[in-house]
Structure 1
């Protein structure tokens, strides 16, 4: 597949993923707002912090390394060996679920069964849900590698809609079930997700469409672990790369979910405060997750397909180098603008958002300050996602191993800073610790990108520079909206709130207009390379 075709398919994948994340987050957003009226904040804290941490840890440690290794390289890989390797996720997930489930049941503080009933059942069902989801991994990797954009959208959309429907039903009818409500719903979600992938490939394999696309797998039995005569069971080079990513996955998981580990194992916040923090955290990351995460996942595939892992810039096709540099520069500019917009406007609208979402429980106290601080973290999160997806797509096995030492240092630093800042500043200490570590990770990735392109004429890091006029507009909008919040929000009635929203909309329109006239290169890239190709795909 040519680089331009990969770019077109990747753009379509990213756009579909964004739409999926919008649906996913909006449903979760509404679900949390609804359940806040029916269940205690202690249950919210246990589900969204402790049980979700168990689920995400098992899934991440069991599959992240396999995904990164198996999505690298060209389309001519031996898929029999790759499928065999991917199935190792399942027994690995079982081991992690048993080990971590024991830790969650016997080494952590058990909540009061009166306030939080069915804790033991919740731990077992969330661990089982993680293992069930891993069964879909060979199907997921095949779908991602061949850019089956609609499959992921349909599978995850159907699963999350059914999960939300079941959760709402159980919360209304059986609120006394406590954690069982969320545990059963989570198991339904992962089961439906696996079922969708299995049904799709049952119908797709052997079909005329599969033959026309020269799909490398012909029968469903080839998606099961099996041995081919005169052929090694695994691609050992790929397996060694997986091992390198596996060692890194421990450290990355600590950095990704570090504050939840500190809350869970060090008890720096009670369950109620954990619930409030998690709600603010989810609200603050709403836009980040449905925009930045799809971009990172989709364009990791793009960079991994266009450029050869481990080769320096002189060993790559120069046309591919040019395309990758153009895409990287434009992506950096795009996420920087989105992140900066969230930071500037998030400061003045945090209290209004929390008051509308959860009432006085969230908008009073430390909630608004937490969300304002999180707005800054979103900016760093945006830049880090793109720089790391490029870096991880190109690193050789040896570079990945060296980076593991960097991740180890970052993990230890993060845990220490989180612990002390939380004792000093409360929940805000988690966000500030995340900002510090995210800045260090960005610095490492930027250094890698600079060294990679320094012997070429391409300078993709220029995407991190903004027009002085645009910076001035951001500053003015920040001052105007902050003054508007002090004058109109949030205890002066609905008309004052509406006026505050109107002020923000006007400032946002001014900002977007300035972007169109000052960042012409980005606008041209979006129009000619992304939107036009996406339109062609649809037609």
Structure 2
């Protein structure tokens, strides 16, 4: 595989989307089963309190370092950069351990949180917190391998091990829950540690095998070169020459094991890490702010938190299995294509135009997906919730349908914000990133304030409205940055946000039709309602495909070149 950044990013995003859809379908079935047998208070503890601990530690320890080091790998075959990168990646582990101590103290301390854990569940909860920390440590032990796999586009490896991770966790959790539903938190914790261990071991085993095979090919090439003046010219040796990773053993992925004539850490890289670290704290507040508010304040009980989280997960499906893979790979593409410290007009014109076209097309795709989700979400929220949690789930909580409908509205803003911010973070200079931290602080404070105030008046819907306001402000900021940057080269990638006329008209008409037919079809037959929705969706997708034939042909052409 030749390391073409655009083609590899498209390939990786495509496979990740397919993988995420598959995993979410599996998770959908599992959660639908768990909702029916596990108490909703227990679900609130697992899905809100414990997973909040996991995401908090991950953001504080790993996110900034991973983003900064990605920016240092525009030419990953330069061996002199890897000692600094490997050492920097391994810093995640001690940082994680340092932060885990105060976090565990906070999570164990009942007086800090608004909703205390029942005495009957506290031992399970404490065990769960410890297991979350252990699983994070185990995962970070394979962080260099995960990073190398991403930089050198080992797409199939990542998909395989992520699938194995999901399979182990799901199988263990279901097996243990079926034995005793009252021990669900124990089951959740054990499954988390075992699946993470499988994930980390899988990366080590693969790279031991891969590097061993790579060394054999290099040895054969050297012996053949000794026999002839020109050396071999086979496809296999060309592949190794172009794409071999700069490691002769897995041991070299440990800290301090690669030869380095300079310092242990790179000063510029450290500065970039610090900038992303500041953002990591603020972004965590923006990403998980509602969970922090729910956890610290007594606004919602654990049962209500579970209901909100269940609906939130459903409303975030598009973000998780479509938008997130696109965002991750687009960020990777932009960091490898554009230079942070050089104005666009001084960079190669072909690269700038390609980046502009990619950004335009990305915005076109995610905005269209978001609009489809928003329109059809108004008519099919009740249907989805009935299939997911049963009719009792809707009857028990009248707000669940309203929550999912508002989540559908937020999808559009979520889609646009992810791409615009991802590009901005990939293109900003270190000084600009530092300056943006002040704006992030303003967004964070505004979001937390609105979350608390709106939730006090409107209940869980207030969280969604606060999040919509926050994302709208961030889109305005990142949009202004992108527009100003591309003015100097006379390009307008932000025009991708504007939907095509025929697509917009079709979506509006079919959305109104589905809404009018919703009550009649839902009460008559839920499957008839789904069938009508599928026909309307197919018509909408067909119109979009007709208006974006060039984009589709370009995507297919790049996919064929990769294969």
Taking structure 2 as the reference length, the TM-score comes to 0.91
**What is the CA–CA distance in structure 2 between the aligned matches of 1:214 and 1:486, rounded to whole Å?**
59
- 1:89: which partner in 2? 92
Q: Which residue of 2 aligns with 1:215?
A: 245
Change over 3 Å in CA distance of 1:125–1:18 after alignment to 2 = same
Report the CA distance between 1:229 and its aligned residue.
5.3
**Equivalent position to 1:527, from 553, 558, 561:** 553
In structure 2, the residue matched to 1:488 is 521
**Structure 2 segments unaligned to the other structure (5+ residues):** 219-239
* Superposition pairs of residues 400-411 of structure 1, within 5 angstroms: 400-411=433-444
8 Å CA contact retained: 1:288, 1:382? yes
- 1:455 alignment counterpart: 488
Residue of structure 2 in register with 1:258 after alignment: 289
Does the C-alpha gap of structure 1 residues 6 and 230 become closer, same or farther in structure 2, counting only changes over 3 Å? Answer: closer
Q: Which residue of 2 aligns with 1:425?
A: 458
Describe how 1:104-183 pairs up with structure 2 within 5 A: 104-106=107-109, 107-108=112-113, 109-114=115-120, 118-183=124-189
**Which has the larger displacement, 389-398 or 462-471?**
462-471
Deviations 1:499-538 (A, max 9, x none): 22222122212212221233x3xx312322x222223323
Partner of 2:272: 241
- Equivalent of residue 279 in structure 1, options 310, 327, 334: 310
The residue aligned with 2:230 is none
- Matching residue of 1:35: 34
Q: Tell me by how many angstroms 1:115 deviates.
A: 5.5
Instruction: Give 2:194's aligned residue.
Output: 188
Contact 1:31–1:164 under 8 Å retained in 2: yes
Cα distance in structure 1, aligned partners of 2:124 and 2:260: 50
Gaps spanning 5+ residues in structure 1: where? none
2:545, 2:552 within 8 Å by CA — same for their partners in 1?
no
Is the aligned partner of 1:53 residue 2:52?
Answer: yes
Shift of the alpha carbon at 1:288?
2.0
* 8 Å contact kept, 2:176–2:184: no
- Asked if 2 retains the 8 angstrom alpha-carbon contact of 1:159 and 1:189, the reply is yes
Alignment size in residue pairs: 529
The SS at the match of 2:120 is: coil
CA contact (8 A) 2:424 2:481 kept: yes
Q: C-alpha separation between the residues in 2 aligned to 1:330 and 1:464?
A: 9
Contact 2:40 2:302 in 1 (8 A): yes
Aligned-residue RMSD, C-alpha: 1.7
Deviations 1:19-53 (A, max 9, x none): 22112222221111111122100111100000000
State the Cα deviation string for residues 278-311 of structure 1 (Å, max 9, x = none): 1101111112210100000011111100111132
C-alpha deviation, 1:363, in angstroms: 2.1
Normalised to the residue count of structure 1, the TM-score between the two structures is: 0.95
Q: Which of 263, 266, 274 matches 1:232?
A: 263
Report the CA distance between 1:2 and its aligned residue: 9.4
Q: Is the 8 A contact 1:116 1:178 kept in 2?
A: no
Q: Distance in 1 between matches of 2:528 and 2:323?
A: 30
Contact 2:293–2:451 (CA under 8 A) maintained in structure 1: yes
* CA distance in structure 2 between the partners assigned to 1:117 and 1:20 by the alignment: 35
